[in-house]
């Protein structure tokens, strides 16, 4: 079981309110990702759930019980830290067994669980090494191992992949997703990387300045962003946001259109522009096109075959059914 509920939870450091009162429910077994730019309070929110920070107001409920005053160890949550926070003087085996040892579990049961976790995480050959002798990915797995032996109600991940190189990050991303599928335990995952958020989450919570901007499934957020911030934050490359006269034509303060929803043509279209930088990814090419319609260059996705040289004159046509409209407060117009 691992349902977590936040009721009007807030946090201030001195006079600075980093998280105004917010409500959030995380269902049992869900993979929830907190995503937002750095300094948006997502790590603080995770630490409030873990109990490493005290809430300034409101209540944290775990499985329906008020855990606001409960010490971190008794909340039944396990955390994986950004720095892994392995104990450098202990072997991998002792690291993984540490929470069990602290719980006073008997030695045989400790060994059984450690062996079990090690085989799940492919760490069996490394059990007698020190963390200093392991690679980044292996350390990451030890940190996860230390979390799973406790059989917690929920896992908390604090930017666990940000210290790994790009290739390893993709691998670990898959491993964590698989682990979730297998264990079916609630996981809360904090990241600033929206690719991680999109690929792993059942539910994404987008945060900005401690405020929840939108909660929803990855595709929901992608297809129906609630406001301009979410529209600009989710998706890579970013959604093109155009305000001013062009937006007014659509009765909106701002309009947004994703790069893949624009047709590019060399003969005709709605907006005329000149090609700036083009980014060739092989499968796709992203063109940055300078148009009169927008002050910022518009990003357009085209197939990898299309070759346009710098300064070429092109016409862009947004597909009207994919146009997002936002009012002057930045909220979506239905």
Site string for other proteins, 1-30 (x = CB under 8 A): ------------------------------
What is residue 1's DSSP assignment? -
CA distance 167 to 174: 11
CA distance between the termini of the chain: 37
CA distance 17 to 288: 39
CB-nearer residue toward other proteins: 142 or 204? 142
What is residue 333's DSSP assignment? P
CA distance 286 to 237: 9
In the complex, minimum distance from the CB of residue 319 to other proteins, in angstroms, rounded to a whole number: 47
Of residues 11, 93, 113, 146, which one binds other proteins by CB under 8 A? 146
Site string for other proteins, 149-188 (x = CB under 8 A): -x--------------------------------------
Q: Which two tokens stand for residue 330?
A: 């930045």
In the complex, minimum distance from the CB of residue 213 to other proteins, in angstroms, rounded to a whole number: 28
Of residues 98, 129, 183, 195, which one binds other proteins by CB under 8 A? 98
Query: How many Cα atoms within 13 Å fall on the side-chain side of residue 237?
Result: 22
Q: Which two tokens stand for residue 199?
A: 């690929």
In the complex, minimum distance from the CB of residue 2 to other proteins, in angstroms, rounded to a whole number: 15
CB-nearer residue toward other proteins: 77 or 230? 77
Q: Is 321 exposed, middle or buried (0-12, 13-18, 19+ CB in 10 A)?
A: exposed
CB-nearer residue toward other proteins: 93 or 226? 93
In the complex, minimum distance from the CB of residue 176 to other proteins, in angstroms, rounded to a whole number: 18
How are strands ordered across the β-sheet holding 16-26?
Answer: 16-26, 4-13, 57-62, 65-66
CA separation (Å) from 278 to 92, 124, 302?
Answer: 48, 47, 10
CA separation (Å) from 126 to 72, 102, 108, 131, 141?
Answer: 29, 22, 20, 9, 11
Of residues 99, 225, 273, 318, which one binds other proteins by CB under 8 A? 99
CA distance 255 to 275: 21
CB-nearer residue toward other proteins: 81 or 286? 81
In the complex, minimum distance from the CB of residue 58 to other proteins, in angstroms, rounded to a whole number: 21
CB-nearer residue toward other proteins: 53 or 246? 53
- Is the omega angle on the peptide bond into residue 237 within 30 degrees of 0, that is, cis? yes
Angle among Cα 26, 29, 30 to the nearest 5 degrees reads 50
CB-nearer residue toward other proteins: 144 or 264? 144
In the complex, minimum distance from the CB of residue 89 to other proteins, in angstroms, rounded to a whole number: 4
In the complex, minimum distance from the CB of residue 161 to other proteins, in angstroms, rounded to a whole number: 16
CB-nearer residue toward other proteins: 192 or 226? 192
**Residues of span 48-87 touching other proteins by CB under 8 A:** 50, 52, 71-74, 77-79, 81-83, 85-87
CA distance 124 to 118: 5
Binding residues for other proteins, total number by CB under 8 A: 23
CB-nearer residue toward other proteins: 36 or 131? 131
> Do residues 131 and 88 touch, judged by C-beta distance below 8 A?
yes
Per rule CB under 8 A, is residue 103 in the interface with other proteins?
A: yes
CA distance 244 to 172: 43
61 beta partners: 5, 66
In the complex, minimum distance from the CB of residue 184 to other proteins, in angstroms, rounded to a whole number: 21
In the complex, minimum distance from the CB of residue 81 to other proteins, in angstroms, rounded to a whole number: 5
The footprint of other proteins (CB under 8 A) covers: 50, 52, 71-74, 77-79, 81-83, 85-89, 98-99, 102-103, 146, 150
């Amino acid at each position: 079981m691992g349902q977590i509920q936040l009721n009007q939870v807030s946090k201030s450091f001195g006079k600075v309110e980093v998280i105004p009162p917010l409500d959030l429910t995380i269902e049992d077994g869900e993979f929830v990702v907190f995503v937002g730019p750095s300094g948006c309070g997502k790590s603080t929110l995770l630490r409030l759930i873990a109990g490493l920070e005290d809430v300034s107001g409101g209540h944290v409920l775990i499985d329906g019980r008020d855990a606001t005053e409960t010490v971190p160890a008794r909340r039944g949550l396990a955390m994986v830290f950004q720095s892994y926070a392995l104990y450098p003087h202990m072997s991998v085996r002792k690291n993984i067994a540490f929470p069990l040892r602290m719980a006073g579990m008997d030695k045989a049961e400790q060994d059984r669980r450690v062996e079990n976790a090690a085989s799940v995480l492919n760490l069996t050959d490394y059990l007698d090494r020190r963390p200093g002798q392991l690679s980044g990915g292996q350390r990451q797995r030890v940190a996860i191992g230390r979390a799973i032996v406790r059989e917690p109600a929920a896992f908390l991940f604090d930017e666990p992949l940000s210290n790994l190189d790009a290739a390893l990050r993709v691998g670990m991303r898959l491993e964590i997703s698989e682990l979730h599928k297998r264990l079916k335990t609630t996981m809360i995952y904090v990241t600033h990387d929206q690719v991680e958020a999109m690929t792993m989450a059942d539910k994404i919570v987008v945060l900005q300045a401690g405020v929840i901007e939108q909660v929803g499934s990855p595709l929901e957020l992608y297809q129906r962003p609630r406001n301009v911030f979410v529209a600009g934050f989710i998706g890579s490359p970013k959604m093109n946001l155009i305000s001013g006269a062009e937006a007014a034509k659509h009765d909106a303060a701002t309009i947004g259109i994703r790069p893949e929803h624009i047709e590019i043509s060399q003969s005709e279209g709605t907006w005329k522009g000149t090609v700036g930088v083009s980014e060739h990814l092989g499968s796709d090419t992203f063109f940055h096109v300078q148009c009169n319609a927008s002050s910022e260059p518009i990003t357009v996705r085209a197939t990898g075959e299309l070759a346009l040289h710098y300064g070429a004159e092109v016409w862009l046509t947004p597909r009207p059914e994919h146009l997002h409209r936002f009012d002057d407060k930045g909220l979506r117009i239905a």
